[in-house]
Structure 1
Amino acid sequence: MLNKLTSVNNPKVKAVVRLRQKRAKDSFSTIVEGVKEVEMAISAGVSFSEVYVCEKNLKERQLLKKLKNPCFVSEEVLHKMAYGQRNEGVLAVCEMRPRSLPEKIKTGGLYVILEKIEKPGNLGAMLRTCDAAGVDGVIVCDPKTWIYSPNTVRSSLGTVFTVNVYTADQEETAAYCRRHGIKVYAASPHGRKRYTDCNLKQATAFVLGSEHDGLSDYWMNNADQQVLIPMLGKADSLNVAHSMAVLLYETLRQRQFNC
């Protein structure tokens, strides 16, 4: 078969492994692994610089028709390059650069602001929820993890490509929300108002902090309202991804069911 890799010592294989282990300095390339993730990226218009396919393990044969110039590899080679244990027979490499805040926004939109998120797995889970809830944009402020890391791509099931994700600092984000009339709610166990008592039918942004430190004083002081999710047990807070899901679906309840 033409253009087939069988050696794990091939320079291309080693380059992909380096991407899996740690993002190279000044590189914006990442790994997209798995049928669903690759299909999500394709649907979002992402261009792949490299595509590797192991026909023996490919779980969705129709995907081959959507791939341009795939490089066929042995089972051993794909296993060497793969990020996780799941082997669905396809792995791609693409370049993803940070996006700045857009000038135009949707009237009455729904947004999420994430501050200093540390864990790519949590970030991916949150992006998956944002996709499901139809969020119009996610603004990542001062991230401590790379937004498009292979782990984020995997845990988001590829929705990292379908959600509008932007990066900005705190001041830029706060000014952006004021300029566009977006009401900012800071989610905190120390909030002064229950989330269910808020009017979420207007342009809304929820700010959530890091797993370890929560929200900074900046957002606690600059948000329009501090909101809390009642905790009835011994724990003082939910996982940040779960908190975000609760807030987003309360917003959908108010907007779609008008109650």
Structure 2
Amino acid sequence: MQANKHITSTQNPLIKKVLLLKEKSRERKKTGLFILEGLRELQIASNAGYDIDTILFCEGILENSSEIQTFSSDQLISVTLDIYKKLAYRDTTEGIIAILKSKNHELSSLKFENKNPLVLIAEAPEKPGNIGALLRTADAANLDAVLIANPKTDLYNPNIIRSSVGCIFSRNVKMGSTTEIISYLKKEGFQIFCAALSASKDYTTVDFNESTAIVVGTEHSGLSEEWLNNSAQNIIIPMEGEIDSMNVSVSAAILIFEAKRQRKLNK
């Protein structure tokens, strides 16, 4: 396989750069670059129009060399097994780590193709695993957008990319403050449904057919008063056990697919 060059030392400046991008959110924000690992994730990002800066690969691990040959040889750099193990963050690996350029996730860049969009909003999510799971749900339902209000975690955290299985690239993800997002939703005529315990209706009794924003908070603290004060209707998933909450990604999936079910019936 042709590559631009071969790196054998962990002291190589490019290897040090990859480690910084892997470990430091500040470095990702400063450079506008991030890393991902895995051929499937790289293909999804490439198909979604992400610019690829560099692809590092280890021939001793790479199972399907023909797939990587679709990329320019100028982008390809081979590394030794020892270097790859130092860079890799996944337990199971495919021998590919890439550096890509991040995209614009400002709310002002949000555009919709559908007349009555369905969007998911997550306020202040912190756990990368939950964010990744929300993005996978959004991809499964083909949502029009995912909006993260008051973000606490860098969107290109390697653990978010890993847990989303690349869905971070296939979805329309934007970020902003709670105030900014509420203002945007009202301007665009969205009905806001907040998942909350107080003053709530059974989620199956509300109409999700118009432009709709489903809003979920953290499992620990729920949604802020600002969201609850601007909700058209708080909604709840009735529970029959001892606890009154579920994992946020599970709750979001239930609400989203009820909205999808209603919309399918009304086509």
1:185 aligns with 2:193: yes
Equivalences for residues 149-228 of structure 1 within 5 A: 149-228=157-236
| CA distance in 2: counterparts of 1:202 and 1:99, whole angstroms | 25
Counterpart in the other structure of 1:18: 20
TM-score normalised by L of structure 1:
0.94
Aligned residue pair count: 259
AA partner of residue 72 (structure 1): S
- Superposed counterparts of 1:50-129, under 5 Å: 50-68=54-72, 69-101=75-107, 102=109, 104-105=111-112, 106-129=114-137
List structure 1 runs of 4+ shifted beyond 3 angstroms. none
Give the Cα–Cα distance (whole angstroms) in 2 for the partners of residues 98 and 235 of structure 1.
39
Q: Name stretches of at least 5 consecutive residues in structure 1 with no aligned partner.
A: none
Alpha-carbon distance, 1:103 to partner: 6.0
Over 3 Å counting, the alpha-carbon distance change for 1:97 and 1:212 in structure 2 is farther
Q: Percent identity?
A: 36
Contact 2:110 2:174 in 1 (8 A): no
- Ranges in structure 2 where 5+ consecutive residues have no aligned partner: none
Residues 146 and 98 of structure 1, relative CA distance in 2, 3 Å threshold = farther
- Please give the alpha-carbon distance, in whole angstroms, between the structure 2 residues aligned to 1:179 and 1:220: 18
Q: Is the 8 A contact 1:18 1:24 kept in 2?
A: no
Q: Which has the higher helix share?
A: 2
Counterparts in 2 of 1:96 and 1:103: CA distance versus 1, 3 Å = closer
Q: CA deviation at 1:65?
A: 2.5
Q: CA deviation at 1:60?
A: 2.8
Q: TM-score, normalised by structure 2?
A: 0.91
Q: d(CA) in 2 for partners of 1:22 and 1:103? A: 27
Assess, with a 3 A threshold, how the Cα gap between structure 1 residues 163 and 2 changes in structure 2: closer, same or farther: closer
Most deviating of 187-196 and 241-250: 187-196
